[in-house]
């Protein structure tokens, strides 16, 4: 917990931090870059001989964000206090590997410090807020129905932005979440007709499948939003009755270029006065003639209104809803720890082959009295744990001759099993 979140320092424009990409880089005249500078790195056996700096962390900022943005610089500044925490943790427990803080503003502070290299186009896609550990720790499990307007006015760029918006929403869903996507004009089109009338788990396979289907959407006709909203509420309510979903948190994401009215009749029938289902409208395009209706729908249903005018806006704007959904967690001060499934960390491969890891993460809240009831999530802290460390807690002699240990996560993924042979090489 931090109470230093909103230090407003006048002179942060002069403040420099070690940017993971810019450290140890020179311009043509051999001078260090701004936010770069000399950063001493030494190969370290505990980190598989990677060159690291054990006294300082580095900060990574996604390529599409301005790395001197005042919100980022402010956050980087107060999170500097973590350097000492990281170093002390490592001194206390030498089995620790990476320790990090992913900020809700988008920057990522990693200890020990290490240099990051962008791809050949100078791009570094990594955004900590899209990582499984971040999403799982920041939000509670949720059921989500995504409604996409495919009426005639959505033709062209708007449909492209809408697809990208839906795809970004999918990025923010994880294994604890359930979802479905319905496109609407004067008819309803389940994006995957076989899954008509139900919600599916937001695992990687299902999300990829739905993403592929999004390419097949085309725009024509007129949009009947009342029919679509009715279907979404029915779907969520029926699904809740099955007891398979999240039980407590349900949302409708509405991706459209406008709403001609506010559909009070539908909300009155399905959602008021309890307002258990939150509604998040995304207004696509530059026009704001219909913004008021959508804003009203968001406010009347405990959601959040966002306008997305260009493709470049998509990711940042989609993430806004996560703050709203994490609010109840912040206010109730839930400090749930989450564990991800086992994955292969290809930077730490050793002589015995790939190293299986799991990530443990926890949300970080603002504890300032003035802002506490606003439920401000500052970010998520996490650390990677080799599965072999967990196995040490289960000594062989206690299991007996034919005994063996295995572990699965609450989502049914294998954490460890003697026969687990990792084939896919990826980092979560
Ligand atoms: C980490 O980098 C800083 C800045 O270059 C340097 O002053 C410090 O000595 C380095 N620490 C270690 C343990 O190498
Ligand atoms: C790291 O380097 C040392 C010395 O070069 C070598 O003995 C050791 O095997 C290396 N460790 C790993 C994990 O590669
Ligand atoms: C869903 O399936 C039912 C029964 O198969 C069918 O009657 C209904 O029209 C379908 N709805 C949509 C929106 O495809
Ligand atoms: C889902 O059902 C449970 C149990 O009937 C109820 O307590 C809960 O409020 C429902 N959730 C929503 C979002 O309607
Ligand atoms: C914050 O609120 C708590 C409980 O309401 C109170 O005990 C505490 O004194 C407050 N702290 C400040 C700095 O106002």
Residue 209: pLDDT band by 50, 70, 90 thresholds?
Answer: very high
> By the 8 A CB rule, do 198 and 220 touch?
no
Distance CA(300)–CA(118), nearest Å, equals: 44
Of 35-44, 184-193, 198-207, 347-356, the least confident: 347-356
Distance CA(305)–CA(161), nearest Å, equals: 16
Ligand nearest to the CA of 369: 5
Does the beta carbon of 188 sit less than 6 angstroms from any atom of ligand 1? no
Does the beta carbon of 157 sit less than 6 angstroms from any atom of ligand 4? no
Distance CA(409)–CA(200), nearest Å, equals: 18
Does the beta carbon of 388 sit less than 6 angstroms from any atom of ligand 3? no
> By the 8 A CB rule, do 405 and 416 touch?
yes
What are the structure tokens assigned to 57, written together? 């962390």
Structure confidence by residue, pLDDT tens digits, 24-37: 998 899 888 889 88
Is pLDDT of 1 > 50? no
Neighbouring CB atoms inside 10 A of 213's CB total 16
- CB within 8 A of 316, min separation 6: which ones? 64, 65, 106
Distance CA(351)–CA(334), nearest Å, equals: 41
Phi, psi of 77 (to 5 degrees): -65, -50
Does the beta carbon of 55 sit less than 6 angstroms from any atom of ligand 1? yes
Structure confidence by residue, pLDDT tens digits, 94-129: 999 999 999 999 999 999 999 999 888 888 888 898
Pocket mutation for ligand 1, best pick of 19, 22, 41, 55 (most atoms within 8 Å of C-beta): 55
Q: How far is ligand 3, taken at its centre, from the CA of residue 200, in Å?
A: 17
Would you say how long the chain is, in residues? 428
Give the pLDDT score at 343.
80
Q: How far is ligand 2, taken at its centre, from the CA of residue 340, in Å?
A: 29
pTM for this entry = 0.80
The C-alpha R_g of the chain, in whole angstroms, comes to: 23
Query: In this structure, what DSSP letter does residue 313 have?
Result: G
For the 139-329 domain, the top CATH level (class) is alpha beta
Residue 428: pLDDT band by 50, 70, 90 thresholds?
Answer: very low
Structure confidence by residue, pLDDT tens digits, 253-300: 999 999 999 999 999 999 999 999 999 999 999 988 889 999 999 999
Residue 5: pLDDT band by 50, 70, 90 thresholds?
Answer: very low
Q: Residues of 58-84 as b/e, b for ≥16 C-beta within 10 angstroms?
A: bbbbbbebebbeeebbbbbebbbebee
Calculate what percentage of the chain has a pLDDT beyond 70. Answer: 89
- CB within 8 A of 50, min separation 6: which ones? 43, 44, 114, 347
Does the beta carbon of 411 sit less than 6 angstroms from any atom of ligand 3? no
- CATH 3.40.50.410 in the chain is located at 139-329
The mean pLDDT of the chain is: 88
């Amino acid at each position: 917990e931090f109470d230093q979140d909103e230090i407003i320092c006048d002179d942060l424009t002069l403040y420099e931090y070690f940017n993971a990409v810019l450290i140890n880089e020179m311009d043509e005249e051999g001078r260090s870059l701004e936010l770069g500078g000399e950063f001493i790195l030494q190969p370290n056996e505990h980190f598989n001989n990677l060159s690291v700096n054990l006294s300082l962390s580095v900060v990574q900022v996604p390529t599409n964000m301005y790395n001197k943005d005042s919100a980022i610089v402010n956050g980087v500044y107060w999170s500097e206090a973590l350097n000492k925490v990281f170093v002390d943790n490592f001194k206390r427990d030498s089995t620790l590997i990476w320790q990090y803080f992913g900020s809700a503003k988008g920057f990522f502070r990693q200890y020990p410090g290490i240099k990051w290299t962008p791809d050949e186009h100078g791009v570094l896609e990594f955004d900590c807020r899209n990582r499984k550990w971040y999403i799982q720790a920041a939000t509670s499990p949720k059921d989500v129905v995504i409604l996409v307007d495919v009426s005639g006015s959505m033709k062209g760029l708007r449909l492209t932005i809408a697809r990208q918006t839906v795809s970004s929403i999918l990025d923010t869903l994880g294994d604890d979440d359930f979802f479905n996507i319905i496109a609407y004009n004067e008819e309803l089109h389940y994006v995957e007709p076989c899954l008509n009338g139900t919600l599916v788990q937001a695992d990687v396979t299902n999300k990829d499948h739905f993403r592929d289907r999004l390419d097949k959407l085309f725009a024509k006709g007129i949009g009947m939003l009342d029919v679509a909203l009715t279907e979404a509420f029915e779907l969520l309510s029926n699904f809740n009755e099955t007891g398979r979903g999240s039980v407590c948190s349900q949302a409708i994401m509405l991706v459209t270029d406008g709403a001609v009215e506010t559909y009070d009749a539908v909300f009155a029938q399905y959602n008021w006065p309890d307002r258990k289902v939150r509604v998040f409208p995304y207004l696509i395009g530059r026009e704001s003639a219909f913004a008021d209706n959508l804003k009203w729908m968001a406010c009347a249903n405990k959601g959040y209104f966002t306008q997305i005018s260009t493709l470049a806006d998509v990711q940042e704007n989609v993430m806004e809803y996560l703050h709203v959904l994490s609010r109840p967690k912040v206010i109730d001060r839930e400090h749930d720890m989450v564990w991800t499934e086992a994955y292969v960390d290809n930077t730490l491969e050793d002589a015995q082959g790939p190293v299986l890891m799991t990530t443990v993460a926890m949300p970080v809240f603002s504890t300032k009295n003035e802002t506490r009831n606003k439920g401000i999530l500052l970010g998520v802290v996490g650390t990677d744990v080799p599965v072999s460390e967990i196995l040490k807690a289960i000594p062989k002699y206690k299991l007996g001759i034919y005994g063996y240990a295995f572990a699965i996560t609450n989502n049914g993924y294998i954490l460890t099993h003697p026969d687990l042979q990792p084939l896919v090489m990826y980092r979560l």
